[in-house]
Amino acid sequence: MELLFPLLLVALLVPMFLGIRRQKREAEAVATMQESLKIGDAVTTTSGLWGTVVDLDDDTVDLEIAEDVVTTWLRQAIREVRTVDETTADESGTDETPAATAEETPEQTETRLTKD
């Protein structure tokens, strides 16, 4: 009975200690990745936006999110650097959207918008 409290204490503290160590290693890996960004990297932000690094400062990163559309983000907002395999798989057209979309005539658009 005397050993029950110390064993219970150890059983609760060891997983907590190991979790803190794992979390610390992951935070260091993310900080290293954010510091090693370079121009031309394809990245994903914490909000899920995909872009390409076009300029870097000490605290900020300029991302091109569309042709001639550049936004400024804090370095801490960069979640991951996408690899070439991920970007080519996403752009290969494997999703279910049709390759060519037909344009609507103005009459079709008006009908679609006013349809109740």
Give the pLDDT confidence of 35-53 residue by residue, as tens digits.
Answer: 999 999 999 999 999 999 9
Residue 43: the pLDDT is 95
CA 94: distance to chain centroid?
A: 20
Total-model pTM = 0.58
CB-hemisphere CA count at 13 Å for 29?
9
Per-residue DSSP letter, 115? -
* pLDDT (0 to 100) of residue 25: 95
- Asked whether the predicted pLDDT for residue 68 surpasses 80, the reply is yes
pLDDT of the residue at 96: 54
- pLDDT of residue 100 exceeding 60, the answer is no
**Which amino acid belongs to residue 56?**
L
Task: Specify the pLDDT at position 105.
Answer: 81
Other Cβ atoms closer than 10 A to 93: 9
Mean pLDDT for the stretch of residues 85-103 = 57
Q: What would the CATH number be for the domain defined by 3-82?
A: 2.30.30.140
Q: Stretch 68-89: mean pLDDT, rounded?
A: 84
Instruction: Confirm if 64 and 49 have CB atoms less than 8 A apart.
Output: no
